[in-house]
């Protein structure tokens, strides 16, 4: 059995009108809700409504001033004081020069100074000559024997166990004496000192000769210090 509806009872024709009314009602409710929430809120007493402008604190850049170096005090100026004297004033300190005549007969003493003649320059020192110096005609062996008899071993060097060979250089003068004794290669200060002492106390040598004439000759001799 089919149901039959009248045209008045058919709601399909009024569907569009109902839809529009529904939209209007919903929009009205939404607007009322917005108005209600905006007016219902209490105003915050701390809200000023505008963002406060915060002033930025500007820290000035300061530079430490360096003290200027002190200038040295200026030397005091010396001012010359000029005393102005009138022409009428007589100056007591005036220097009076008297003219003195020298008689031609006056004897003039002449002081004579004796000028000593300069010493002659030292004679040349030879290292090699025709006839070399010889110790009392015995040569190096004789001098070595004399050194061994007169040499004194320093106690400090002996206690410390110091030994070695000291080379001594000296000059044999034309008269055979020994001069300018020095150490050219040493071992220890105590040994060097003893070597100079013993050579300086040497008796006279037979001098060296060049073309038959005695001359100054440089001589080098080794002195051996050995602990026994």
| DSSP 8-state secondary structure symbol assigned to residue 104 | T
Whether 3 is in a domain gets the answer: no
Confirm if 225 and 164 have CB atoms less than 8 A apart: yes
Cα separation, 142 vs 26, in Å, equals: 150
pLDDT tier for residue 20 given thresholds of 50, 70 and 90: confident
pLDDT at 213 > cutoff 50: yes
Whether 189 is in a domain gets the answer: yes
Whether 202 is in a domain gets the answer: yes
| Each residue's pLDDT tens digit, 58-81 | 655 556 666 667 777 776 665 555
Number of domains in the chain: 1
| Each residue's pLDDT tens digit, 33-50 | 887 765 555 555 545 554
Whether 139 is in a domain gets the answer: yes
Whether 205 is in a domain gets the answer: yes
Whether 2 is in a domain gets the answer: no
CATH number for the domain harbouring residue 135: 3.30.1150.10
Give the domain range for residue 153.
Answer: 125-225
- The whole-model pTM stands at 0.46
Crossing angle of helices 139-150 and 189-200, rounded to 10°: 120
Whether 12 is in a domain gets the answer: no
Cα separation, 126 vs 217, in Å, equals: 5
φ, ψ of residue 25 to 5 degrees: the values are: -65, -45
pLDDT tier for residue 111 given thresholds of 50, 70 and 90: low
Whether 50 is in a domain gets the answer: no
Give Dmax over CA atoms of the chain in angstroms.
201
């Amino acid at each position: 059995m089919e149901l039959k509806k009248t045209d008045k009872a058919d709601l399909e024709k009024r569907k569009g009108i109902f839809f529009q009314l529904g939209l209007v009602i919903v929009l009205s409710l939404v607007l009322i809700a917005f108005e209600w929430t905006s007016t219902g809120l209490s105003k915050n007493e701390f809200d000023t409504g505008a963002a406060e402008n915060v002033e930025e604190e500007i820290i000035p850049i300061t530079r430490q001033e360096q003290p200027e170096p002190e200038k040295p005090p200026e030397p005091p100026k010396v001012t010359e004081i000029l005393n102005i004297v009138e022409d009428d004033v007589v100056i007591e300190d005036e220097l009076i020069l008297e003219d003195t005549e020298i008689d031609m007969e006056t004897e003039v003493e002449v002081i004579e100074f004796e000028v000593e003649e300069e010493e002659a320059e030292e004679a040349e020192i030879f290292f090699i000559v025709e006839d070399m110096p010889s110790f009392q005609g015995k040569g190096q062996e004789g001098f070595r024997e004399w050194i061994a008899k007169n040499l004194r071993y320093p106690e400090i060097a002996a206690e410390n166990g110091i030994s070695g060979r000291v080379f001594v250089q000296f000059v044999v003068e034309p008269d055979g004496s020994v001069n300018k004794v020095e150490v050219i290669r040493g071992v220890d200060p105590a040994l060097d000192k003893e070597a100079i002492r013993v050579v300086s106390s040497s008796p006279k040598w037979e001098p060296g000769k060049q073309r038959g004439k005695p001359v100054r000759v440089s001589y080098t001799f080794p002195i051996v210090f050995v602990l026994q």
